[in-house]
């Protein structure tokens, strides 16, 4: 197992890109075969807009990655962080690292993106998509994505997470991001049992309902246990879901200029501004 995880320490950028393409290819195929909703839309245009946001996120990811090379070196040489101070089996350290990142860099960061007014304005871009499919998972305003990256790096430092663990975690999040946003219908007898531990396609769809309280539920990315522990979990009938968000113009969900300007759009008021 250690040799397998060590592979991720020097994972080439081309391999990471190939993994993104492979995951997208898989979910796009599933969306054709078992769609949850039959959207009446121009899929090429819709997905193209969302992939523009992905390209912005990838640039930020590369820049943050370069800037944090020194962080991982500092952790390994100075023995900074919780995992550097304890002696645990390899598998236990890996599990702690993945769960810590999933909780702090995903659940907590995501929760705050919904609760803090100025952060919510950035996150509106993600929720304004009225035709949720796999590419919606890559639809983040650069400010939103940068906030998430800061939470990730803070978690790495506090827990002393090795670079191989971190890259392994990021590879896992790519898969879960695409599969949970994918416009696919899993049988309830498969989806419901899995949802007791993991975030499933049905679980995350409630988060993309256009209004509260469902909008402010199911914040997890890999594990659903955080939502269950903190009372933010919901599971209902997916036929009740209406995508989008009730404070933005649903007809402009593919307007890049409008979407990128949402954080500074003073005409958009939410209860989070009060």
Q: What is the 3-state secondary structure (H, E, C) of 240-272?
A: HCCECCCCCCHHHCCCHHHHHCHHHCCCCCCHH
Q: What is the mean pLDDT of residues 142-165?
A: 95
CA distance to 108, 248, 252, per residue, from 49 (Å): 27, 17, 12
Categorize the per-residue pLDDT at 135 as very low, low, confident or very high, splitting at 50, 70 and 90: very high
Say if 235 falls within a structural domain. no
2-11, 164-173, 176-185, 259-268: which has the minimum mean pLDDT?
Answer: 2-11
> Helix 90-100 to helix 142-159 angle, to the nearest 10 degrees?
150
Say if 233 falls within a structural domain. no
For position 12, what pLDDT does the model report?
Answer: 81
Cα distance between residue 209 and residue 192, in whole Å: 19
Say if 260 falls within a structural domain. yes
Q: Reply yes or no on whether the pLDDT at 194 is more than 60.
A: yes
> Helix 90-100 to helix 163-181 angle, to the nearest 10 degrees?
50
Could you give phi then psi for residue 209, rounded to 5 degrees? -65, 150
3-state class (DSSP) for residue 140? coil
**For the whole model, what pTM was predicted?**
0.92
Q: Which pLDDT tens digit goes with each residue over 138-147?
A: 999 999 999 9
Say if 52 falls within a structural domain. yes
Categorize the per-residue pLDDT at 104 as very low, low, confident or very high, splitting at 50, 70 and 90: very high
Q: Reply yes or no on whether the pLDDT at 272 is more than 70.
A: no
| Contact present, 163 and 72 (Cβ < 8 Å) | yes
Q: Reply yes or no on whether the pLDDT at 241 is more than 70.
A: yes
Q: What are the helix (H) ranges across 160-209?
A: 163-181, 188-194, 201-207
Per the prediction, the chain carries an average pLDDT of 92
For position 271, what pLDDT does the model report?
Answer: 67
Categorize the per-residue pLDDT at 258 as very low, low, confident or very high, splitting at 50, 70 and 90: very high
For position 274, what pLDDT does the model report?
Answer: 45
Q: What is the mean pLDDT of residues 216-225?
A: 97
Say if 135 falls within a structural domain. yes
Categorize the per-residue pLDDT at 4 as very low, low, confident or very high, splitting at 50, 70 and 90: low
Cα distance between residue 118 and residue 40, in whole Å: 33
Domain extent, residue 35, equals 2-185+253-273
In the chain, the number of structural domains is 1
Say if 191 falls within a structural domain. no
Q: Which pLDDT tens digit goes with each residue over 29-79?
A: 999 999 999 888 888 999 999 999 999 999 998 888 888 888 888 888 888
Question: Left if phi > 0, otherwise alpha if psi is -120 to 50, otherwise beta: which for 79?
Answer: left
Say if 39 falls within a structural domain. yes
For position 222, what pLDDT does the model report?
Answer: 97
Who's near 191: CB < 8 A, 6+ residues apart?
Answer: 200, 201, 202, 203
1-10, 31-40, 229-238: which has the minimum mean pLDDT?
Answer: 1-10
Cα 243 to its chain centre, rounded Å, is 17
Say if 21 falls within a structural domain. yes
């Amino acid at each position: 197992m250690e040799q397998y995880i060590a592979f991720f320490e020097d994972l080439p950028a081309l391999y990471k890109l190939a993994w993104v393409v492979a995951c997208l290819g898989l979910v796009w195929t599933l969306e054709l075969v078992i769609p949850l909703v039959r959207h009446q839309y121009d899929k090429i245009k819709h997905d193209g807009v969302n992939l523009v946001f992905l390209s912005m996120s990838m640039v930020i990811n590369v820049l943050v990655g370069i800037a944090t090379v020194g962080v991982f070196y500092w952790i390994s040489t100075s023995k900074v962080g919780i995992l550097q101070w304890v002696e645990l089996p390899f598998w236990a350290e890996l599990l702690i690292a993945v769960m810590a990142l999933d909780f702090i860099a995903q659940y907590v960061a995501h929760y705050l993106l919904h609760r803090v007014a100025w952060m919510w304005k950035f996150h509106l871009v993600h929720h304004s998509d009225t035709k949720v499919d796999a590419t919606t998972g890559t639809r983040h305003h650069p400010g939103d994505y940068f906030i998430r990256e800061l939470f990730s790096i803070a978690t790495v430092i506090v827990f002393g997470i090795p670079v191989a663990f971190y890259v392994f975690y990021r590879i896992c999040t790519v898969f879960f991001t695409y599969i949970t946003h994918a416009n696919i219908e899993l049988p309830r007898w498969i989806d419901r049992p899995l949802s007791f531990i993991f975030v499933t396609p049905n679980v995350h769809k409630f988060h993309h309902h256009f209004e509260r309280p469902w909008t402010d539920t199911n914040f997890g990315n890999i594990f659903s246990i955080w939502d269950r522990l903190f009372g933010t979990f919901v599971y209902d009938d997916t036929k009740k879901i209406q995508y989008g968000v009730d404070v933005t113009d649903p007809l402009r969900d593919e307007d890049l200029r409008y979407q990128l300007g949402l954080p500074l759009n003073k005409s958009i008021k939410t209860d989070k501004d009060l």
